[in-house]
Amino acid sequence: MNIDDNKNLKESIECNELCFGYDNSSDKEEEDLITNEGKFSESMEMSNYSYKIQEVEKKLNELSYDDMWGIEFDNVDQCCDFYRNYAEVHDFVARLDEKGQDFSGNLNMRQMNLSYNGVYGGTKRRSKQDGSHKKDLYNHFDRSRRAKIKDGDAHAALSYLISKADEDSLLQGKFTLKDGKLDNLVSADGSSITDYQCFGDVLTFDATYQKNKYNRPLVVFSRTNHHGQTCIFGCGLLSDEKRETYVLVLNTFIEIIGNKQPIAVVTDGDLAMREAIKEVLLNAAHRLCTWHLYRNACEAIKNSKFLDGLKHLMYENFFPEEFERRWHNLISEYELSENEWLQKTYRIKEMWAFSYLNDKFFGGIRTTSQCEGSHSLIKNYISKKCYLLELIHNFNEALTQYRTNELLSDFKSLFTTPVLTTCLQDIEKQAADIFTRSMFKEVRCEIEEAGKLNVVTHSVSNNEVKVRINKYRQPGRECEVQYDKVTKKFACDCRLFESRGIRCCHIFCTMRHDHIDIIPDTLVCTRWTKNTKKDCVCSVTSAETDSENIAGIRYGALVTLCFTLCESASKNRDDFMEIRDDIFGLIQKLKKRRDPDSNVLSNACMVGDPTVVKTKGVLRQNRWAIKSRKCSHCIRRGHTIRRCPELYSRDVLHTGHHQSSDELNDEKSYFEEEINYQSNDESNV
């Protein structure tokens, strides 16, 4: 092959016009390839390639899978050269990888890898002809969906809530406007309102960020249900985190939820939240999250032993006098009496120390970890680029997961029986029949702990019984239990029932000592029972049935009845068909009674999209920005310690060194330049 032929071959490779000739005839052992300008046959002739297939000419970018299977090579080098050229034509890069040999050292396997160089560029150029990946389809639908709701996000979100209200008559929501744009939004569906009527004794709420494209903080109101699982009561989209905004949102939430105020609130200690709670929830006990408090302590005090002692004071149940003594001993031991953070924290000890909160019911909640857990789950459904419509829809999807977990726990509590393991099996069996499965496990732990206790004194006066109890090998700490034989009311110094809703081991020890084998009703907190929703519905009198405040209770009553109905009707086909037709008829009957004038879509049409707000906290810094110089002496920017004006003036004063007028003018001009640079730099910051 001459030089001109090599030049033509190179040009044909660059313009993707490579061709080859091959033979598929079984009569010929070898066929000389036809040499044409710009054809792949020239490279074949150069490498002594041979084929046993009939003579055809095709471009490399036109080869099919069948054509590729029909090619035969004389040796491995020919095969590798062919696939390298084939990969180059199709924007790939081919490289040699593993090889296999037999026991004699003969090559029997050679593997080549192809990197996908340029495949996405080709897909972008020829999207109509090429196939699509799953991610391509996701991006396409996401772009089309976002384009439809652009500049109408608030209207679409409110319209979605209105359509949900047509299906859920208990759904409530309110919003405020500012300059014709959506400002604040609070909503709760029927199931959330029902749950609040049953489990709204304690409320926890916290703000989460980066859950929408407008940077609006999302507040989630939550608590635990009778299984100890997270139960969400509603959510609010805030314009900012000022006290006035929190007051507005709390008032709106209490109004749409049925004007039932909680008896206790747990927050992370935000000052604006604290002031709003004092103004709106007047009778609610406010507890600070101990996890956030301990994290702040770790930042303020760098002493691990002191932090361990502080944690002990936060969680342990001491008498107030003992707490004060231990606190002062801890402060004096580590000489921290002048620490401002500790002084400020001590002044609000009634909001975080369990010694001052053990007489208030919090249901075992000491931190906002459930809020953080709900934020973590919601994060799987909601991203920081979400529109309002996506946020509301995906938030409802997250609620579905929580409610599915509750149904599974209901099934486990109603249709399974735990194994009895304690020595007080009569009491344990009764507790298993009353409480949900998760709460029963806590009660069983208290029953087991009663076996480690000893009765020190036992006195009876009329119908009142007083029992003093201590723990095995801990005789110094005693608890006193009092109960009335007639009313069966028990009281213990540890106050576990008042704060958690579960009877303590001291009371079970007293029951064992006095041979009481039945748990009195006074020892049962209905909040943790299996039928707590049903009991809540049955407690409503007929005179209250027309009140809007108990609409959620009506919903819970119907759900309970339908659960029993579905369980019975699903076992027989005829019963199933009959109940299905009856339910369908009732639905059609209720639809005819609905008021057609309740649609408020026209008001939603006038609502504009909310404005993007500034997020709370420090703005993100540019990591590649050039940092200005900073003096380590005067802590000013624009110069270093070597050129500090204060040090220069001090040196001149002490040394008495006199400089010439030219030197003074030069240094004066230099310091003026430094000061100007410093002022400009501070203004930019």
Smallest CA-to-CA distance from 167 within 189, 188, 195 is with 189
The stretch 460-465 carries a mean pLDDT of: 90
CA neighbours closer than 13 Å in the CB half-sphere of residue 381: 19
Q: What tokens were used for 336?
A: 């921290």
Helix (H, G, I), strand (E, B) or coil at 210: coil
Give residue 242's identity as a one-letter amino acid code. K
The stretch 351-358 carries a mean pLDDT of: 91
d(CA 391, CA 396): 9
pLDDT digits (tens, 9 = 90+) for 35-54: 333 333 333 333 333 333 44
Give residue 344's identity as a one-letter amino acid code. K
pTM attached to this predicted model: 0.63
d(CA 283, CA 275): 14
Are 245 and 184 within 8 A, CB to CB?
A: yes
CA distances from 122 to 92, 129, 132, 201 (A): 11, 10, 11, 61
pLDDT digits (tens, 9 = 90+) for 239-280: 888 999 999 999 999 999 888 899 999 988 888 999 999 999
d(CA 324, CA 302): 23
d(CA 404, CA 399): 9
Q: What tokens were used for 617?
A: 């906290």
Model confidence band, residue 125 (pLDDT cutoffs 50, 70, 90): very low
d(CA 50, CA 79): 11
- Taking every pair of Cα atoms in the chain, the longest distance, rounded to a whole number of angstroms, is 124
50-73 burial: b if 16+ Cβ within 10 Å, else e: bbbeeeeeeebeebeeeeeebbeb
The stretch 355-381 carries a mean pLDDT of: 78
Q: What tokens were used for 602?
A: 């026209």
The stretch 505-517 carries a mean pLDDT of: 93
d(CA 132, CA 142): 15
- DSSP secondary structure of 565-629: HHHHHTT-HHHHHHHHHHHHHHHHHHHHHS-GGG--HHHHTTPBPPPP-PPSSPPPP-TTSPPPP
- Residue 114 confidence (pLDDT) above 60: yes
pLDDT reported for residue 136: 74
**Mean of pLDDT over the chain:** 76
- Residue 541 confidence (pLDDT) above 60: no
- Say how many residues make up the chain: 685
pLDDT reported for residue 641: 82
Model confidence band, residue 119 (pLDDT cutoffs 50, 70, 90): low
Q: Would you call 131 exposed, middle or buried from its count of C-beta atoms within 10 A (0-12, 13-18, 19+)?
A: exposed
d(CA 186, CA 183): 11
CA angle (70, 89, 137) in 5-degree steps:
95
Q: Which residues contact 83 (CB under 8 A, 6 or more apart)?
A: 94, 112
Q: Which residues contact 121 (CB under 8 A, 6 or more apart)?
A: 91
Tell which wins on pLDDT, 9 or 364.
364
pLDDT digits (tens, 9 = 90+) for 378-419: 777 777 778 888 888 888 888 888 889 898 999 999 999 999
d(CA 503, CA 525): 9
Model confidence band, residue 187 (pLDDT cutoffs 50, 70, 90): very high
Output DSSP code: residue 257: T
Q: Which of 153-162, 466-475, 601-610 has the highest mean predicted lDDT (pLDDT)?
A: 466-475
Helix (H, G, I), strand (E, B) or coil at 357: coil
- Residue 23 confidence (pLDDT) above 90: no
The stretch 571-578 carries a mean pLDDT of: 82
Beta strands 285-288 and 264-267, pairing class: parallel
Smallest CA-to-CA distance from 223 within 353, 368, 354, 438 is with 368
d(CA 671, CA 673): 5
Are 57 and 21 within 8 A, CB to CB?
A: yes
Residue whose structure tokens are 């007489």: 359
How many CB atoms within 10 Å of residue 114?
14
